[in-house]
Amino acid sequence: MTQGGGRTASVSRKTNETQVSVTIDVDGTGTSTIATGVGFFDHMLDQLSRHSLIDMTIETKGDLHVDDHHTVEDTGIAIGQALAKALGDRRGITRYASLDLAMDETMTRAAVDVSGRPFLVWNVAFSAPKIGTFDTELVREFFQALAQHAGITLHIQNIYGANNHHIAETCFKAVARVLRTATEIDPRQAGRVPSTKGSLA
């Protein structure tokens, strides 16, 4: 947790491939300003913020002349790092959440443990390599980076669905909703770390 008690954090990350800056407020209202240079990815991150109620300001300048890979992965790393930083010692959080999220013909399940233990289980298949110009395989790359750097165990399963835009979007919305619940302060925890080990860091 940062000074002043607010669960906010900023991360700047620069490599030869990308320059990313992320500011988040875990206890926000789902307001976002997002500019990664990748339209479909901006649309997905907007969903992530809106449905997690985590405010996000994200700016990425990546090597899009190569492809979208570094931009998506490095943005995921920075969001994950910001989340870990904002959550601090994870005192008082709800910790667990899961949800089945419907969107038209598609159903996707997400489960999270805000555990300090990075792990992604990815059980999602796309039927096309692209959504517009966006590589569908990058959806997994994003969540892998997020789980790894936020220190969360994240399971995502597409139960059924036909439209690849819907399949991707339900992944982001479902993860948003479980992150919202699991990172929320549970008043019955009374400020304790929700682990018999006494630590989630």
Q: Give residues in contact with Mn ion (CB under 5 A).
A: 169
Residue among 50 and 61 whose Cβ is closer to Mn ion = 50
Q: Positive or negative CA dihedral for 141, 116, 122, 47?
A: negative
Query: 48: which 2 tokens?
Result: 């992530």
What is the nearest approach in angstroms of Mn ion to the Cβ of residue 67?
21
Q: How open is the CA angle 68-21-14, to the nearest 5 degrees?
A: 70
- Please tell me what DSSP assigns to residue 77: H
183: enclosing H helix or E strand: helix 164-183
Element (H, E) at 45: helix 39-52
Least distance to Mn ion, CB of residue 165, Å: 6
Residue (9 or 131) nearer to Mn ion, CB:
131
Torsion 200-170-79-93 (CA) sign: negative
**Residue 40 or 143 with smaller CB distance to Mn ion:** 40
Burial class of residue 170 (count of CB atoms within 10 Å of its CB; 0-12, 13-18, 19+): buried
Find the shortest distance in angstroms from Cβ 127 to Mn ion: 17
Residue 168 Cβ vs Mn ion, minimum distance, rounded to whole Å: 8
3-state secondary structure of 181: helix
CB of 43 to Mn ion, least distance (A): 6
Contacts of 187 (CB under 8 A, 6+ apart): none
113 or 169, CB closer to Mn ion?
Answer: 169
Q: Which C-beta is closer to Mn ion: that of 15 or that of 127? A: 127
Instruction: Name the residue number minimizing CB distance to Mn ion.
Output: 169
In angstroms, give the least distance from the CB of 115 to Mn ion.
Answer: 30
Judged by beta carbon, residue 134 or residue 143, the one nearer Mn ion is 134
